[in-house]
Structure 1
């Protein structure tokens, strides 16, 4: 009768070592896949947030009339303030009376905040719907005025370095209107560009906005105000 030969202890240990190495490699591969998926999701969320902010800003600015004043006041339709950008317009929905709307895009320590204040022209009821904080860590804004060109930029939060464009807008220039001007921009500098005077401001034809999300990569767009040029 033949005697059957089994595995030696050394062979068993070698087999267990090979299995352990394969398991370790598989675990590291799985961990890297999960990390890559997390990075992709984070980049995708940041891209969606940035796209949504630019889309909403574009809608807010395209709703403006071409005048420099908010009807009935000496306030401008587009204004740079210490914390960001203010857009003022008059809206009329089919189911509502006309109402004044002031949209504030403010950079806070926690992120970018969009606040809407509405005042109906008849009964003066005021509401202030507010959007949630957006994960934007830095904001840079400047205005294109006619005449005058680009105003000095306002930097808010942690804005990653990005060169200012020397772009000139094409098309027929808008007419100039005389209004009560804000004497100084944040930081004590004159808010308007060259050619402005204490009692005259050019129309705001475009707004350059640069956003820095959590990944630290700044994205810039130039958005036109309402009207066809």
Structure 2
């Protein structure tokens, strides 16, 4: 769908039609604090998820209705790619995994970061998850039972990380945004390359293989291939 969702410090969520961006087509209210993050479900077009510091909410877009509230806030929420069976949420320096098909399932906490997790990203299959804090990147593998195990870690003296995504064409390659640069990390060989010496605060990849990056305060969006 040609839809964009935005969250705000005014405690609202808005849905926009990209073909007619002059005004929002839906507005959701119900959060009692600033909405820090949201995400579209990869399979269910009518479902989005949002979070604030105290709770996680699930919404239907067509009805603009909140049908489920989960107590316990988060800084980030990301649906698992593919089937969207799990939701990853960043809570301080840990990551919590929710099984959306079994609400009574144990919620595993992924630990190991010393500082707050600032970025989460699933690979296209939903088998691997990246968690990024300022001083550490961890790559997790999901098993068939919903358990996640850390398979790679990266910490580089002098580098301050902001975000990370999986390369669209090379599964063993991560693209990392830092306060000083953009980095490429070959996880298999544990080697790094610095293609860009400029700050990168946000990254996203498209299914067509294009990569978009944004800096801190330069108002510039760059597209890479």
Q: Same fold judged by TM-score > 0.5?
A: no
TM-score by length of 2: 0.27
Q: Which has the higher helix share?
A: 1
- The structure number with the bigger radius of gyration is 1
Task: Considering Cα pairs closer than 8 Å and 6+ residues apart, tell me whether 1 or 2 has the greater RCO.
Answer: 1
